[in-house]
Amino acid sequence: MKKPKSNGVEYDNSAYDSNLDDLPVYEEANDEHRTVRPSVISAFGHDTLDRIPNIDFYRNAGSVSGQRAVRPSLQELHDVFQKNGAISVPDTVQDDGEKSIGVPSEDLESAKPSKSKGPIKFGWIRGVLVRCMLNIWGVMLFIRLSWVFGQAGWGLGMVVIGLSCVVTTITGLSMSAICTNGVVRGGGAYYLISRSLGPEFGGSIGLIFAFANAVAVSMYVVGFAETVVDLLKEHASLMVDELNDIRIIGCITVVLLLGISVAGMEWEAKAQIVLLIILLVAIVNVFVGTAIPATEDKKSKGFFNYNSKIFMENFPPAFRDGETFFSVFAIFFPAATGILAGANISGDLRDAQAAIPKGTLLAILITGVTYLGVALCVSATVVRDATGNTTDIVTSGLPCNESAVAACELGYNFSSCITGNCKFGLMNNFQVMTMVSGFGPLITAGTFSATLSSALASLVSAPKVFQALCKDNIYKILYFFAKGHGKNNEPIRGYILTFVISVAFILIGNLNTIAPIISNFFLASYALINFSCFHASYAKSPGWRPAYKYYNMWLSLLGALLCCAVMFVINWWAALLTYGIEILLYVYVTVKKPDVNWGSSTQAVTFVSSVSNALSLAAVEDHVKNFRPQILALTGSARSRPALLDLAHSFTKNYGLCLTCEVFEGPRSEALPAMNAAMEKNQQCLVKTKRKVFYAAVACDKFREGAESLLQASGLGRMKPNTLMIGFKRNWKTASTGEVQTYVGILHDAFDFEYGTVMLRMREGLDVSHILEAEDEMLKAAKEQQALGKEMMNGEKTKGLFRKSRKSSQQVLTTRVSVCSPPSPQDAKINERLVEASAQFKKKQPKGTIDVWWLFDDGGLTLLLPYILTTRKKWKDCKLRVFIAGQPGRSDLDEQEMKSLLHKFRINCSDINVIDDIHIKARSNSLKKLDDMIAPFRLNEGSKDFAQAEAMKIEYPWKITDEELSNFEEKTNLQVRLNELLQENSKSANLIIVSMPIARKESVSDFLYMAWLDALTKDLPPTLLIRGNHKSVLTFYS
């Protein structure tokens, strides 16, 4: 390899390694760490970690080769530069072990080409064009097409074919756009719909589409068997009777078709080619037959070669036997429902993106022209009614004024067909094509070919689609059928299941009844393909960039509506049944919430709608009638304080904004990685526990700075928090001064930013993080113990090279187990009570009361929050009791005023209590407890001289001074007195809500304020301290 040049001059680079010049593919090590990415000589002439754009970096993660190419992370490029030696980075990037996003782990795109003979892949002709043509050219071409044009005339008959082609062409265009918007794997219609609209739509349509293909096998096979039985009847060679002969021949045929399918796609493709040749010969035979001069026998049956009078006579419609345009269209349209035959084997195509659009659209064009050509040829050569009697000739001299004027002018009198039932002609004989053709048996062979090719295509399609559905594990019970066999990953289990379904319907099914249901299943798939294209275009997602440009979103929407209309035209009750089944499956998948993310257009539209609604909301001013609490809960991680989060979630439920917030404190280099690792983990935890809550986190040097950032910047437009929810700091007496100042400072910040503030205190505490950490450590230890056990079992096979690593593993495990030793019985009991209390608000609350001590008018938040709780199912058995402060001697009047106010607010409460002795002094033993509580934090400057006292104030500015205690003696007494009243009146309440006291900034010290909060809520049931922002959140105006 040549040395790199700079300005035409070769140079040596000590960091250069020629072995590293190619783009690396990094193997995943056993410990799930990626290997260190070395530096290479880049296209820029110097050693660098940066890589030039390459397709390997954009493949899905997780391939069959077990390798992945990974570009350097931003952290690796941004980290501190190492001057000595080659550029390298520490192995800091963890491999999360994720598989392909939303697809099975076998990523065929990223697999290395194998030297051995790989799976059989088809091009667009054999894989798509041939299959689609064979599926569209059904028995309709030879059996019912002449009847359709006899009933509708060739004028409306062309409309029937044209409308069918419009529906299928629009669907083909939509499918082409979806196919060319990324790599297409196996699964056909299911894959296209599920990756566009999501697993709910894809899972529902995939199941019924696979079932429709399985039943379609039996329909096509029965059509083949009926034709064979007709031949046996002509030669008096029936085996048992007509019905049982159909069953016997049908079952034998399915077994043979199954053998061809199981033998492999190559054999199936060869069989399709043979059937195509037979079918093409049969079609050519029809065209040749129309040019061969008609015999007298054929003329008596209505065939006169090309004649303009016959052609014009067959132009207008002549509906009979209650038929209409729509009923005739409903009979013809299923013939056009084979356009997905190529897409259904998308996993077996060499280049599905190119093959599906080209092959499908060309097949629609060829088959549409063929249907039209054959129909017009027959319409120009065969009259509508004929007797088949060679003696029915026109008597000379009689005028031709009956309905069969063209036949009359050609010398035949078929006027008897007006009153009697004739057996020949377009309207009466389904074997017109056999009569018209040059060699009749070829039409029979063509009928065989059409039925067998369609049956074979459906027999292959059903298991392929079903296997793709099962691989995605949307219906977990069906995962058994996901396994493939052989180099083509053939769904043998799916073949067997399809075989069983087909045989069952051949033996017991009334196919005439089920046929419209199957047609509607196919049409539902077409409708969703069209809607997928429209939906993806409407979402205007940057990821929607189809290479196929000849589509239009509104045309796709029209195609979807046309498909839905045709469903009702074919059979209204079958359409309703199809919609019902699809809705049930949609609801099932939605409820189960499969763990997949395919970047569907549904997500894109949801995002667009959310932005649009948020912008609309931002343009409207807030109104008190629409006020709802938007909670910002400082919970730490989503699992740390479950009681606090559960209560916050009860306030917002599905109707308000709730943020669970965490502050990662410390240097950015340490806090950022921890925060990034926690973001997705915590949000997934919230989804798993079905909490409608958002997780938000910030990394800051100081906790208060992080909380301040959350208070100021959280939310979007009008959707921003208005209420801070925080847990009571139980350890304030033992915590450092800085921690207490931070905690109280956050409350001051909330008041400054005009947040309503809610504080929860529970006797057992709120924080369970230490228990969760111990559980996680024990789980890791158990996993390491299991891994070590396996390692020890394989120890005899392992050479001495690995003994050292095994010894270090044992040492790590021993250390971890010692750290995770069980807690003492006393700690275990405390933890047990804590865990039980943390789940208190998850459960339905027993009958009891929510006691609301609405002491100060804060705008109504203290009353609104408990009212909201009573509207929740878990709290519906709890009654509201309201306690207010009253003046001595006017308790009755105060009670009536509050009752009137609550009545105007439309808030029901079971009892109103007026407390008129709040102002009296608290008991001496209660005050003594408060004095003992604050004793360690008092300055006691009164016993010192002035200079010493001033020096102590400067040294300990956070301590409680005697002057402060004196100034706030009444407020301090109020908190202690309130606790006594709470003990007397609300000791048995399910939840106590009390107006929160406010500490004036720079007047009340942090420790005195904490003492107030502690004294107020001590030894009580779960207690909420609430203080609104003193803006009305309640109104009695309409």
User: Over the stretch 516-527, which tens digit does the pLDDT of each residue have?
Assistant: 888 888 888 889
pLDDT at position 29 is 36
Please state, in angstroms and rounded to a whole number, the distance separating the CA atoms of residues 375 and 158: 9
**Confidence band (pLDDT; 50, 70, 90) for 941?**
confident
Query: Would the pTM count as exceeding 0.75?
Result: no
Condensed to tens digits (0 to 9), the pLDDT of residues 798-810 reads 444 344 444 444 4
d(CA 677, CA 670): 12
Pick the range with the lowest mean pLDDT from 79-83, 213-217, 548-552: 79-83
Kindly state the average pLDDT of the residues 977-995. Answer: 94
pLDDT at position 110 over 80: no
**Whether residue 14 has pLDDT greater than 70:** no
pLDDT > 70 in the chain, percent: 85
Confidence tier at 510 by pLDDT (50, 70, 90): low
Sorted by sequence, the CB contacts under 8 Å of residue 547 that are 6+ apart come out as 180, 181, 353
What b/e readout covers 98-117, taking b as 16+ CB neighbours within 10 angstroms?
eebebbbebbbebeeeeeee
Alpha-carbon span 627 to 985, nearest angstrom: 31
Can you tell me the mean pLDDT for 416-444? 82
The sign of the torsion formed by the CA atoms of 269, 271, 277, 282 equals negative
Question: Looking at residues 587-591, what average pLDDT do you find?
Answer: 85
Among 535, 127, 108, 145, which Cα is nearest to 357's? Answer: 127
Write out the H or E segment, with its range, that includes residue 655.
none
CA 936 to chain CA centroid, nearest Å? 58
The helix (H) or strand (E) run that includes residue 633 is strand 631-634
Q: What are phi and psi of 989, to 5 degrees?
A: -70, 150
* Residue 142's pLDDT band (cuts 50, 70, 90): confident
Instruction: Give the pLDDT of residue 369.
Output: 93
**pLDDT of 135 higher than 80:** yes
Position 81 scores a pLDDT of 58
The pLDDT confidence band at residue 741, using thresholds 50, 70 and 90, is very high
Alpha helices in 198-264 (DSSP H): 199-234, 242-263
User: How many Å apart are CA 244 and CA 767, to the nearest integer?
Assistant: 74
Supply the pLDDT for residue 624: 87
**Residue 8: exposure state from Cβ atoms within 10 A (0-12, 13-18, ≥19):** exposed
Confidence of residue 117 (pLDDT cuts 50, 70, 90): low
Strands 756-761 and 1023-1027: antiparallel
Distance CA 779, CA 1000 (A): 48
> For 904-909, what is the mean pLDDT?
90
DSSP state of 938: B
* DSSP codes, 296-351: HHHHHTTB-SS-HHHHHHTSS----TT--HHHHHHHHGGGGTTTTTTGGGGGGBS-
Is the confidence at residue 710, as pLDDT, over 90?
yes
